[in-house]
Homo-oligomer: A and B are copies of this chain.
Amino acid sequence: MIVVLTGGTGGAKLVEGLAGEIDPAELTIICNTGDDAVFHGLYVSPDIDTITYTLAGLSDPVKGWGIAGDTFTVLEQLNRLGNDAWFNLGDKDFATHISRTRLMNEGGKLTEITDRIRRLLGVQSTILPMSDDRVETRVTTTQGEISFQEYFVKDRWRAEVTAVHFAGAASSRPAPGVIAAILNAEAIIVCPSNPITSIGPILAVPGIRSALAESAAPMVGVSPIIGASAISGPAHKLMLASGFKASALGVADCYRDFLDMLLVGAEDAALREAIENLDINVIATDIRMADRAHRRRLAREVLALARKWSRKPLSGLP
């Protein structure tokens, strides 16, 4: 098994590449749920859905979220009915949230429901939420504390952030299968997702970070930051607010206790020495994933590195 830690959009690109390069049934994807939120009474799990839709071949390649060609009839009517519908949800996407919310209200766990939905959509990879317990990424701004979605979507990350914390993390438990997947992994890949609000919540679930440190699997990360800015999104701002440098070096620092290798942009080759001082090998390469071919190429490079590092051949590889 190849184990992947990921958030949504950026991570989904690498996950798509990986699923194209190896048998997708050999992938176990551990997803951030810190961005999960309840909209209109429905439980929405944006990162799990982005990964599921991506692997089902349903995702919208332009928007980076939702289902390609989806319509917005429900949302428009919710607006007409006086609801503040600032979070975009398509009609097909609503079916996911309606179905999941019903199953949760009937006592189902997010892990079981995620697995049920991915199977129904024909996804062969295992998709695991980081936890079945509610962990909420909260963003403290100079204007007050808001949820991640309020910061990211409603506010379009304009607010000045002073801190990020994960409400509920301390008492949360890793979802069933997460620790075993990490300990038994043949390789672990940390996607180019936001280190603070996508990978951060996963690492904040007690037991996950120590399992990563304990696992013998080679661990390869891809930097979401080139130069001083994230390839997309506010990772650089949130890293600064969390006491890290806004650079690939900062990314390495976030993962210094478990990462073996970090792929950084060719532009960041000068950071090699500083990152290697953290005991992390550096590969400076093309880490942008503009199209499907780029995603496959980067996935091949990540897998080749993992294979080289590993003491035994990886399964699922051609």
**Which residues of A are interface residues toward B (Cβ below 8 A)?**
40-42, 70-71, 73-78, 80-83, 91-92, 94-96, 98-99, 101-102, 105, 116-117, 120-121
Instruction: Note all chain B residues with C-beta closer than 8 A to A78.
Output: 95, 98-99
Nearest residue, chain B, Cβ from A102: B41
Please tell me if the beta carbons of A42 and B98 are within 8 angstroms of each other in the complex. Answer: yes
In the complex, the answer to whether B80 meets A98 with C-beta atoms within 8 Å is no
> In the complex the two chains form, is B41's CB within 8 Å of A101's CB?
yes
CA A41 – CA B41 in complex, angstroms? 10
Q: 5 tightest A-B contacts by CB?
A: A77-B95, A41-B102, A73-B91, A77-B92, A81-B99
Q: Could you say which residues of chain B place their CB within 8 Å of the CB of A42?
A: 98
24 A-B residue pairings within 8 Å (CB atoms): A40-B98, A40-B99, A41-B105, A70-B73, A73-B73, A73-B91, A73-B95, A74-B74, A74-B92, A74-B95, A75-B95, A76-B95, A77-B95, A78-B95, A78-B98, A78-B99, A80-B95, A80-B121, A81-B95, A81-B96, A81-B99, A81-B117, A82-B120, A94-B94
| Count of identical protomers in the assembly | 2
Residue in chain B with minimal CB distance to A116: B82
Q: How far is the CA of A41 from the CA of B95 in the complex (A)?
A: 12
- Write out the residue numbers on chain B whose beta carbons fall within 8 Å of the beta carbon of A71: 71, 73, 91
Of listed A41, A83, A105, A117, residue having the most chain B CB within 10 A? A41
Can you name the residue of chain B whose Cβ is closest to the Cβ of A71?
B73
Instruction: Looking at the assembled complex, report how far the CB atom of A145 sits from the nearest CB atom of chain B, in whole angstroms.
Output: 22
CB contacts (< 8 Å) of A81 on chain B: these are 95-96, 99, 117, 120-121
